[in-house]
Amino acid sequence: MKLSLRTKTAYGIMSIADQCLYFLFGTFFLFFATTVVGLAPTVAGFIAAFGAIWDSVCSALIGRISDNVRSNFGKRRIFIMLSAIPMGIFTVLLFTKISGSESIKNIYYFVVTLLFWTGFSSFFIPLLAWGAELSEDYNERVKLRGFAYAGNTLGMAIGAVLPSILVEKFEMLGSDACKAWQLTAALIAAIVVTVLIVGSAAINSKGEFAEDNSGYNDGVLKSFATLKRLMPFNCLVVAAVTYLIANTIFVADRLYYYTYNMGLSGAQISILMAVEPFAGFIFLPILSALSKKYDKRTQFVVGMGICGAMMIVLHIVGVKDFLSAALMLMAFGLGAVCYWQMMPAMFYDICELDELVNGIQRQGAIVSFQAIAESTSEAFGLLMLGQMLKYSKFDGAVHIQSTLTLDWLKNAFTLIPGVFMIISAIMVYRYPITEKVFDEILELLNKKRNGETDVDTSRMFKICRIRGK
């Protein structure tokens, strides 16, 4: 089904919210908690890591629940609308400094972090699943994800770049650091609430009301067990995990690298942080144009392969000045576009294969595993970087680090993310659902939907290497 410009635009508007909040938390929560609130770094790190784990638990539950909800507002829209305002409140509470003992502060930010990620999962999983339901057209899904990534890129800029500017501006107007952060969070929360409500209200999706999954009673673990029979699903999960480990290590390490290896000023770092969203806007229309000739699997493999190779090359030649650092972010931006535009669209295609094999529609459960991969990969990547810093004897109290520390900051900035990206590209290369294969899956599925009982799926099972029960 071809989607209207209004539907694709509305979906892209909603997609501002998830990357905005993701980068707001990932970039600034530890800094706020340790420098403004005064939490111990180990405690703040534990809270952030546990929040990622909690997000994965919530993602699985929300995916399962939203698959089975039937309401006058639709099974996905209702979650997005109901979670919008609480999400805004939790964002403000997260960046509010409270008075009290150290224990009270630890408990407060632990609880609010859990509420923050609960709210995040409550709109993000239904939003991802809704994309699979809006169209079953192979290329239309890529176009929809193009609009989504445009929204993601704007959200990334709002969440990763705007807070530093706003905090500085509010402080210039007379606010202290605590008030400046709270006002900044309130403004960003207002943006998130607005885009979620306006975007979800603007989409007219009849298909969202049609499916009755009353016979679908599998729990989360049983759902995962049946999905593991699908080799393409396993390929995507591994590809997602390896890319997101690379993403987490790179994003968390780059401030260290810019500061200690390159000696850049805060202003220079702020300019560099804007390069990645800029790269997204450069590469997005290029990939969208190429989608007419090359399917999403091919684009992902080539784009991610180039990105990983560039990271490794820059490790060898060195990232020593502002220009080479900007080139690094352009390369990283190419990988980010390939992942955020193509990966969700490929997970969408698993939905039809799953229905063909298992006879049920569970878009929420399927996309929730992508979100689980994101959360667990983030936690694992942060733990890896923490171990690298510990091994290299990083000392945050000094301005000049040892040679060993600088070497490992360089490894975490270039070589290690590059290797993980290459692995991600290899796993998608093994993913068998090309555009031609997907069309065959859809043809077989439509025959089953129309009541035909003698549909021969043996060839498709062989292509997709479906395991027996």
State the helix-helix crossing angle for 343-358 and 231-256, rounded to 10 degrees: 160
Cβ atoms within 10 Å, residue 289: 9
| Residue 216: per-residue pLDDT | 52
State percent of the chain over pLDDT 90.
39
Could you tell me the pLDDT band of residue 210, with boundaries at 50, 70 and 90?
A: very low
Who wins on pLDDT, 314 or 229?
Answer: 314
Residues 296, 305: Cα–Cα separation, whole Å: 14
- Quick one: pLDDT at residue 1? 63
Highest mean pLDDT among 8-12, 68-72, 332-336: 8-12
Read off the tokens for 259.
């500061």
| pLDDT: which is higher, 136 or 419 | 419
The CB-side HSE value for 423 (13 A sphere, CA atoms) comes to: 16
In this prediction, residues 87-92 reach a mean pLDDT of 97
Whether the predicted pLDDT of 47 surpasses 60? yes
Name the least confident of 326-330, 342-346, 357-361, 428-432: 357-361
CATH code 1.20.1250.20 region(s) in the chain = 1-204, 218-469
Confidence of residue 217 (pLDDT cuts 50, 70, 90): low
Instruction: Give the whole-angstrom CA distance, residue 140 versus residue 354.
Output: 20
- 363-391 vs 41-67: helix axis angle to the nearest 10? 170
- Arithmetic mean of pLDDT, 133-158: 86
Give this prediction's pTM: 0.79
Q: Which of 273, 330, 308 is nearest to 414 (CA)?
A: 308
Mean pLDDT of 236-244: 94
Band (31; pLDDT cuts 50, 70, 90): confident
**Six-digit token pair at 301?**
């493999």
Helices (H), 291-362: 296-317, 322-337, 343-358
Q: For 388-430, what is each residue's pLDDT tens digit?
A: 888 888 876 678 889 998 999 999 999 999 999 999 999 999 9
Q: What pLDDT, on the 0 to 100 scale, is given for residue 441?
A: 92
- pLDDT score of 209: 44
From first CA to last CA, the distance across the chain in angstroms is: 33
d(CA 442, CA 129): 18
Give domain 218-469's CATH architecture: Up-down Bundle (1.20)
Does 247 have pLDDT greater than 50?
Answer: yes
317 or 380, higher pLDDT: 317
Considering only residues 442 and 74, tell me which one the structure prediction assigns the higher pLDDT. 442
Residues 333-349 pLDDT 10s: 899 889 988 898 899 88
254 burial type by CB count under 10 A (0-12 exposed, 13-18 middle, 19+ buried) = buried
Residues 213-218: what's their mean pLDDT? 52
CB 216 within 8 A of CB 34: no
Which architecture characterizes domain 1-204 according to CATH?
Answer: Up-down Bundle (1.20)
Residue 94 has pLDDT above 90, yes or no: yes
